[in-house]
Amino acid sequence: EDVFEYAKVLGMDPEEDKEFLYLAREGLKAPLPPGWKPCQDGSSGEMYYFNFETGESLWDHPCDDYYRKLFEEAKSKKTGVSHKADSSFASSVNSSIAKHN
């Protein structure tokens, strides 16, 4: 069920885009890129992510956009419309994933 919910976050229709659910599974397991740490908001208790190297903070996992772009790119191969995942961010994510495997 978590996979289907995350698939929706990535812009997938879990029924229509079943062949791409592997990206949602992968995204759910993705480690945080270097510099990012999960934090908890003191007033709301909500989780967010903070990059201690850049000072950037996000409510969503830092890899969500990467996996969203991967999905768009994979789906676009069927339609012929191209979306390129950011290569520098992709390298950072791939490096982080490789360290955890």
Digit-coded pLDDT (tens) for 16-49: 999 999 999 999 999 999 999 999 999 999 999 9
Element (H, E) at 59: none
φ, ψ for residue 50, nearest 5 deg: -125, 135
User: Do 7 and 24 touch, CB atoms closer than 8 A?
Assistant: yes
CA distance linking residue 46 with residue 56, whole number of Å: 17
CA distance linking residue 3 with residue 22, whole number of Å: 9
Query: 101: pLDDT confidence band, cut at 50, 70 and 90?
Result: very low
Residue pLDDT, tens place only, 60-89: 999 999 999 999 999 998 776 554 555 555
CA Rg, the chain, in Å?
15
The reported pLDDT for the residue numbered 90 is 59
